[in-house]
């Protein structure tokens, strides 16, 4: 069951209502019992497909990455005072790639050089949720469910952790890199989907907001002896058992929290913790990934997957009105973001390939939706226009760019993991509205494709307090078979 959000209400009321219902769903999850795996559905026993990937790295472009200024270039007109906004489709020229006839945007020359290893989906679509809150769309993308729900839905990485389990029993199966969950806007909404939901704490993410500090997070404090470390772990377990919040948690969720502590303790005592220390890489390698937090996150992700991590998300970090959230100064911001993501993504693909890991590692570049210069949501939407620079003609550089949310067609790039190489799937219109006009791919079907690659049936479900809950909404997601090699 979902809760309805009134799209006509003022945004602050919508957000307040959204937070209230997310909180209720989280509380309901903590009080629920153990999720029970459904062994069959209306079509009989659930059969898992043969996996084409062992690990998944999601490169998350949080904030709404404009496809016409990245992976789906359209007609380009350079900055010029007096340029009509209605004529502005792409603000970067197209450049060739390693695939004959395929072009992406200027500024992504490195990624262009490895597109012969990629499948490019140009027809991903998102539902128009009326009141377009980034957090709602990000929740939907990461869990497959439009929020708020009656219980907290698990993140895609938590599904993999629960259904497939870890590749290496010492390594966390689900690791989240680069996103702060405190001190940033919409932090409570971010926490709502960066979680294992009803699966319990042991399947939730290890959060590493600063890749350069990851090594500290998996080591005992400096100067602490081994015996003192053991004693503190025992004391911490006792404090959890005696906590007043214990009454708000079912036995299952308390035991899951304790198991997550056991897992963390095991990691802190293992040799695998060295994988978290990016300073162990040669300086020349670190330089190739760039000096951004995202670049360091990509390097860390490669090291973690090498050591047996199942699912790693690396984000450019979602902060309202920063990075990909281009409500103003769109072109200038995009130019900066191109420079931030191009070197590390390129190097990540080359490094995985050089190590013989790319074929069994699914790397995904994605965002919650695209951008347009004129249209909010999609044609016919009643979503409020959130552009900060509402002009009909370009008068200065800050007007030049794609400032409005667009859900009618966006791009997703997939490398390795059994996907085709040098392949383009789907198409958006060449003129506005830039809707997906060939082979649209819904979030349900995109998730089904990802989970099929990882060896999980899209129809996998669990019983939660008498309600079936599936890895794709209502078990209806269908893998896009044309994408597989």
pLDDT score recorded for residue 219: 79
Bridge partner residues of 415 (DSSP): 118, 363
At 7-52, the pLDDT tens digits run: 555 555 555 665 565 555 555 555 566 788 887 666 678 899 999 9
In a domain, 234, yes or no: no
pLDDT score recorded for residue 483: 98
CA neighbor of 66 nearest in space, from 397, 343, 375, 325: 325
Q: In this structure, are strands 36-38 and 118-124 parallel, antiparallel, or unpaired?
A: unpaired
In a domain, 229, yes or no: no
Say what percent of the chain tops pLDDT 70: 84
Least confident of 79-88, 105-114, 149-158, 437-446: 149-158
In a domain, 308, yes or no: yes
CA distance 99 to 421: 9
Helix, strand or coil for residue 86?
helix
pLDDT score recorded for residue 18: 56
In a domain, 244, yes or no: no
CA distance 260 to 13: 36
Given a cut of 60, is residue 229 above it in pLDDT?
A: no
Q: How many domains does the chain have?
A: 1
- Quote the Cα angle for 477-59-210, to 5°: 135
CA distance 264 to 243: 20
At 381-404, the pLDDT tens digits run: 888 888 888 899 999 999 999 999
Q: Kindly state the helix (H) or strand (E) to which residue 37 belongs, with its residue range.
A: strand 36-38
Residue 151 backbone class (left: φ over 0; alpha: ψ -120 to 50; beta: rest): beta
- Quote the Cα angle for 479-480-484, to 5°: 105
Using pLDDT thresholds of 50, 70 and 90, give the confidence band for residue 266.
confident
In a domain, 238, yes or no: no
pLDDT score recorded for residue 183: 87
CA distance 178 to 289: 15
Using pLDDT thresholds of 50, 70 and 90, give the confidence band for residue 77.
very high
CA distance 255 to 477: 32
Within a 10 A sphere around the Cβ of 363, how many other Cβ atoms?
A: 29
Helix, strand or coil for residue 466?
coil
Domain span holding position 430: 51-222+281-376+386-483
Tracing tokens 């130019």 back to the chain, one arrives at 335
The rounded mean pLDDT for the chain is 88
At 190-201, the pLDDT tens digits run: 888 999 988 988
Could you check whether the bond before residue 433 is cis, i.e. omega within 30 degrees of 0?
yes
In a domain, 230, yes or no: no
Tell me, what CATH number does 208's domain have?
3.40.720.10
In a domain, 240, yes or no: no
In a domain, 189, yes or no: yes
Average pLDDT over residues 56-73: 98
Q: How many helices (H) and strands (E) does the chain have?
A: 12, 19
Report the Cα 330 to chain-centroid distance in Å: 22
Tracing tokens 């390097």 back to the chain, one arrives at 299
Given a cut of 60, is residue 244 above it in pLDDT?
A: no
């Amino acid at each position: 069951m979902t809760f309805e959000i009134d799209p006509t209400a003022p945004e602050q009321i919508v957000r307040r209502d959204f937070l209230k219902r997310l909180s209720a769903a989280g509380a309901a999850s903590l009080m629920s019992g153990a999720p029970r795996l459904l062994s069959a559905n209306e079509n009989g026993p659930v059969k898992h497909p043969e996996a084409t990937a062992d690990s998944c790295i999601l490169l998350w472009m949080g904030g709404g990455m404009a496809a016409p200024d990245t992976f789906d270039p359209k007609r380009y007109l350079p900055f010029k005072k007096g340029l009509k906004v209605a004529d502005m489709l792409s603000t970067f020229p197209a450049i060739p790639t390693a695939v004959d006839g395929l072009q992406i945007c200027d500024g992504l020359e490195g990624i262009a050089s490895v597109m012969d290893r990629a499948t490019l989906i140009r027809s991903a679509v998102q539902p128009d949720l009326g009141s377009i809150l980034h957090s709602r769309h990000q929740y939907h993308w990461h869990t497959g469910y439009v929020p708020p729900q009656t219980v907290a839905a698990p993140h895609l990485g938590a599904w993999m952790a629960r259904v497939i389990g870890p590749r290496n029993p010492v390594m966390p199966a689900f690791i989240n890199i680069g996103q702060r969950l405190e001190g940033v806007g919409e932090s409570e909404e971010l926490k709502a989907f960066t979680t294992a939901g009803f699966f319990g704490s042991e399947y939730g993410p290890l959060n590493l907001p600063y890749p350069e500090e990851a090594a500290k997070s998996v080591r005992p404090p400096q100067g602490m002896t081994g015996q003192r470390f053991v004693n503190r772990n025992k004391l911490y377990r006792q404090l959890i058992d005696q906590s007043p919040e214990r009454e708000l948690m079912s036995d299952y969720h308390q035991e899951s929290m304790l198991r997550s502590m056991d897992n963390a303790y095991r990691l802190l005592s293992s040799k695998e913790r060295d994988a978290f220390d990016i300073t162990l890489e040669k300086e020349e390698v670190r330089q190739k990934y760039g000096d951004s937090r995202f670049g360091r996150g990509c390097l860390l992700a490669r090291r973690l997957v090498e050591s047996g991590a199942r699912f790693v998300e690396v984000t450019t970090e979602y902060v309202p009105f920063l990075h990909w959230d281009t409500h103003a100064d769109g072109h200038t911001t995009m130019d900066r973001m191109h420079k931030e993501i191009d070197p590390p993504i390129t190097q990540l693909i080359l490094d995985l390939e050089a190590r013989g890991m790319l074929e069994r590692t699914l790397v995904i570049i994605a965002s919650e939706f695209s951008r347009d210069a004129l249209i909010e949501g999609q044609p016919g939407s009643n979503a409020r226009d959130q552009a900060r620079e509402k002009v009909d003609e370009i008068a200065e550089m800050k007007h030049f760019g794609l400032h409005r949310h667009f859900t009618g067609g966006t791009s997703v790039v997939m490398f390795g993991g059994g996907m085709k190489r040098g392949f383009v799937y789907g198409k958006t219109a060449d003129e506005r509205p830039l809707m997906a006009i060939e082979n649209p791919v819904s979030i349900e079907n995109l998730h089904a494709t990802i989970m099929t690659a990882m060896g999980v049936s899209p129809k996998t479900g669990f019983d939660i307090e008498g309600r079936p809950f599936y890895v794709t909404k209502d078990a209806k997601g269908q893998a896009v078979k044309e994408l597989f090699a």
